[in-house]
Structure 1
């Protein structure tokens, strides 16, 4: 990905580039795409390949990898490694698998650079919310569970984890999808795929470009009007061989019947309540494993602090939409009106 100094043209909507590369691609190749309901969201992959049967096998690999990650790290599957840790780590130290340890290491890194805005122990309070039935914990329940947030002992060299409070629960939802799209894209690359898009909810990982031109990735309008399409982009970004993750308050939410407030799933670990100030935060970078948790962190931190953090990370950019509808950009991006 270009450094901050050379990425000011990112928002230019490039429509014709490297056409000679497109003409050089195999004439019989075509796009193949499948979508599945995995990890509590819609997951999909689109690949450019020359054989339909082989394409089906490649897409099956993507699906299997997504299902594997969900099976291991879902808090809702009793047999998952994550569920076992949540059940036992408060009473006895648990040794994690190398992959699980990588996820914890990543989570704690983002926790440090975001000054606690991203915290996998938010689930100590987060598990009290039921978005399907529109139920939120009351202030007393939040106050009783909030002391468990952050109470985690981690030994990276031995991969050992221990909860320092009986109420601790962890949830990897803020980085597992980004990790999953990276992992699935790596499998495709290993099998020779050069042009592909893998997505899981708000996370997308791109392989190569879109046949000699950039992929144009839209950021969803969080507040479409009554006459707008259900999915309408507010910004389109030309991208190639990188990742983008978006966190928004429109993904899982309900309206509190008493206060009229939007209660959504992106909780501020410091308060145990939905974060307000932003309605969308998108982060662009080389890896979904980073852009996914960084997008959540930026959302919780807010426009000023969140963009300041991204501006300190070489190779990463961000676009945020405030509750007033203002679109703001990290330092390496040029707003469309300034082009």
Structure 2
């Protein structure tokens, strides 16, 4: 009887040890797996800029969670700083400037001063990009928002009157803004700035820099079409699609082994319809109306801030003028123009039944039809 009892005790002890061993192995595998580098991604819809933010990174889950926190904090900050439609407690932003800078000099964040200064300098090279057209853009924004509501009800939108447009254009120009250190003052009571053509590119670029400083080696941010590639993918090239202007699919494909910023401006983004005609959200400061040169313009370069400004500017320029401007000022930048079939007499680099595609020489071997 005693021998049988000892055998039973031994069996119980062995079983307990085996159970502990199995639990330890499972814990070890799970713990080890959670700390192995892997590809993680997330889509954020609540960090501003009226768009979703896609973030992907090759790292451990723990590292990814810390990177996501950086992306959320960074985009929320820049959205508030560059917002011209809303005020926020404790921050002097673009809204503050547009409502108070004529009455009193306003002290603002250094980054806001830097982006305004950068934008004014860019305008000296090309007047097709102009942040001082805030009054004009505000008028178009009002009509576009009304038009989108009407379009949703199967009704036509309205266009602003030409007299209203031309009057708004008189309240623009870099001579109407004074910058001293971190203090900004406007000299025209109707003057407004609008950073919509560059703010998202700047925010994406700065967020990518913060991620790299915190140790991210490979990943990307896609802020509603403003893409920044971080690092190099292992054993393969980055593959980026360029959207078909009339579909949700990619028309073109870029393959690059280098980290890049890619920004597209198109007539299909945030447009509205008036009497059967689509009007883009980008406004040509030279005319006061949406331009009709291209269906889309895509920029490839090292800096998302520059890419954002260039895509806006080139969208407001003819193909000939745009090609010359890039060649003379930014020869290292890659550009893809997608135009309606037969819209110019220039021989396209690629062509479909609907579109002619033009590519700068430095990217012709990297861009192909999808």
Instruction: State the TM-score bracket (shorter-chain normalisation).
Output: 0.7 to 0.9
Matches within 5 A, 1:238-277: 238-257=256-275, 260-277=276-293
Matches within 5 A, 1:128-207: 128-129=139-140, 130=142, 131-134=144-147, 135-154=158-177, 158-207=181-230
Given candidates 82, 86, 91, the residue that maps to 1:77 is: 86
Where structure 2 has 5 or more consecutive residues not aligned to the other structure, the ranges are: 1-34, 148-157, 342-354
Distance 1:234 1:166 in 2: 46
Q: How far has the Cα of 1:138 moved from its partner? A: 1.8
Distance 1:136 1:316 in 2: 35
Distance 2:286 2:102 in 1: 21
Aligned counterpart, 2:316: 300
Q: How far has the Cα of 1:307 moved from its partner? A: 2.0
Pair 1:34-2:64 in alignment: no
Q: How far has the Cα of 1:83 moved from its partner? A: 0.5
TM value normalised by structure 1: 0.83
Given candidates 300, 315, 333, the residue that maps to 1:316 is: 333
Q: How far has the Cα of 1:65 moved from its partner? A: 0.3
Identify the structure with the greater helix proportion. Answer: 2
Q: How far has the Cα of 1:160 moved from its partner? A: 4.1
Aligned counterpart, 2:110: 98
Aligned counterpart, 1:12: none
Aligned counterpart, 1:127: 138
Q: 1:239 to 1:162 in 2, by over 3 A?
A: farther
Q: How far has the Cα of 1:155 moved from its partner? A: 5.0
Is the 2:51–2:223 contact (alpha carbons within 8 Å) kept by the matching residues of 1? yes
Pair 1:107-2:130 in alignment: no
Distance 1:156 1:241 in 2: 35
- Greater RCO, 1 or 2 (C-alpha within 8 Å, sep 6+): 1
Q: 1:262 to 1:164 in 2, by over 3 A?
A: farther
Is the 2:100–2:106 contact (alpha carbons within 8 Å) kept by the matching residues of 1? yes
Is the 1:126–1:267 contact (alpha carbons within 8 Å) kept by the matching residues of 2? yes
Q: CA RMSD in A?
A: 2.2
Is the 2:236–2:257 contact (alpha carbons within 8 Å) kept by the matching residues of 1? no
Q: How far has the Cα of 1:154 moved from its partner? A: 4.6
Deviations 1:10-67 (A, max 9, x none): xxxxxxxxxxxxxxxxx931111111222111112101002x1331121121111001
Is the 1:151–1:164 contact (alpha carbons within 8 Å) kept by the matching residues of 2? no
Q: 1:154 to 1:280 in 2, by over 3 A?
A: same
Where structure 1 has 5 or more consecutive residues not aligned to the other structure, the ranges are: 1-26, 225-229
The 3-state SS of whatever aligns with 1:102 is: helix
Given candidates 84, 96, 118, the residue that maps to 2:129 is: 118
Q: How far has the Cα of 1:151 moved from its partner? A: 4.9
Q: How far has the Cα of 1:145 moved from its partner? A: 1.2
Is the 1:152–1:161 contact (alpha carbons within 8 Å) kept by the matching residues of 2? no
Aligned counterpart, 2:76: 67
Is the 2:176–2:188 contact (alpha carbons within 8 Å) kept by the matching residues of 1? no
Judge which range, 324-333 or 242-251, deviates more: 324-333
TM value normalised by structure 2: 0.76
Q: How far has the Cα of 1:239 moved from its partner? A: 4.8
The aligned length equals 304
Given candidates 250, 268, 291, the residue that maps to 1:232 is: 250
Is the 1:151–1:165 contact (alpha carbons within 8 Å) kept by the matching residues of 2? no
Q: How far has the Cα of 1:212 moved from its partner? A: 3.2
Pair 1:211-2:234 in alignment: yes
Q: 1:251 to 1:239 in 2, by over 3 A?
A: farther
Distance 2:288 2:221 in 1: 32
